[in-house]
Chains A and B, each alone.
Chain A
Amino acid sequence: MRVSRRIKPMYARIFGFAALAACLAMPVSAAVALSDAAGSYTISPASSSIRFSIGKVGGGGLDGAFARFKGSIRIDNSDVGRSEVNFTIFPESVGTGQSRIDAFLRSDAVFDAANSPEIQFRSTSVKRTGDTSALVTGRLTARGKTFPEKFTAELGGLKAGTIKFRVTGKVLRSRYGMDVGTPIYSNVVDFDMTLTGRRG
């Protein structure tokens, strides 16, 4: 930690590399940092957000967010590729700023939140794609349907037992029986999440 205090940006870069690298031949300093990052984190909803956007014909889009979700991040001590990201979204908590749209999204037209109260993501692989980025592949389950999906995770920071990622990805809603409104509303849902994990 002596090094990090003197030259922070470099430390961050090295750490990011380490945290997400599946590389075996890691520099000694990075290996130390990986052991720092390794561990289990619980996603803190208060400092996290799961936002989405669906494009509309003629421009603009429908933006919303889920207020309630839970999840965990586990960074493997020896192999980042074995790390895991799991999260559960409660679609009942969807919010778009327009109550009639929220009611529509919660109804059986879209989420059917009464019968399918959870949307789950379970990672199956984590691949490093850059110094501070990784491709997280996993299985997304919504309304009883499961499909493989990919998300890009970008390390946003690590301090005092807190790790922060920005996770983005595109999901085709038609596969989950949520194709209502296409083609007026795009089939592609753009996710933009900030997931902050607290150690423990």
Chain B
Amino acid sequence: MSTSITNSTTRYGWAAIVLHWLIALIFIGQFGLGFVMVRLTSQRTAFELIQLHKSLGFLLLGLVILRIAWRLGNAVPAPPRSVGPFERRTAPLAHFALYAFQLALPLSGWALVSVSMLEIPSMPFNLFVMPNLPLAESDAAESFWAAAHWYLAYAGIALVALHALAALRHHFWLKDTVLKRMITPSSDRGTE
């Protein structure tokens, strides 16, 4: 087993694996945080959690851009032999959609804070001021982006759930290397 950073045609490298799980953790965490922060009675805690949600959103956006660049500049491992023709066709579409949601969610959140009439500056982790997107502020634009962010979040988490169920199916039912190779850089030759 190689401990390579980069991908090969048969396995994922450490960079892709770490980015996958880090983004997964933040993405799911952001969904939970977003769900909770708009339901709190304490306005102070709500404010602080919303700022944390924004900070994590900007971190997520940075990681997703890095991940997409890494994916485009790297070999994409082919699915193991065990993967059938239906999944060979649909999995790339699901993965493309997952990337689209990873990008659209933080961007729609950024748009939301940019057009908000509350004009609360974004200061990721209190480190620096993140400028707003060049969008006009209005109550209508705020409602639009709030709705867009909400629908994207629910659709995105549904897709993540589907993706996770598919991975678990591969691991526990089909007993192939699809999940294992996203945990350590392992070649799928054993099942060939």
**Interface positions of A (Cβ within 8 A of B):** 56-58, 60, 98, 100-101, 103-104, 107-110, 180-181, 183-184
Contact = CB atoms under 8 A, between A and B. Distances in A.
Interface in B15-53: 42-44, 46-48, 51
Interface in B32-79: 42-44, 46-48, 51
Interface residues of B, number: 16
B123 A57 contact: yes
Contacts of A100: 118
A183 B123 contact: yes
Contacts of A109: 42-44, 46-47
A98 B119 CA distance: 10
Contacts of B42: 108-109
A78 B65 CA distance: 73
A183 B117 contact: no
Given A109-B43, A109-B44, A180-B47, A57 B118 contact: no
A107 B46 CA distance: 12
A180 B44 CA distance: 7
A183 B42 CA distance: 20
Contacts of B129: 57-58
Nearest to A103: B43
Contact of B43 (A56, A58, A108, A183): A108
Given A183-B126, A184-B51, A184-B123, A108 B44 contact: yes
Contacts of B48: 180
B1 interface: no
Contact of B121 (A58, A98, A180): A58
14 contacts: A56-B119, A57-B121, A57-B123, A57-B129, A98-B118, A101-B118, A107-B43, A108-B42, A108-B44, A109-B44, A109-B46, A180-B47, A180-B48, A183-B126
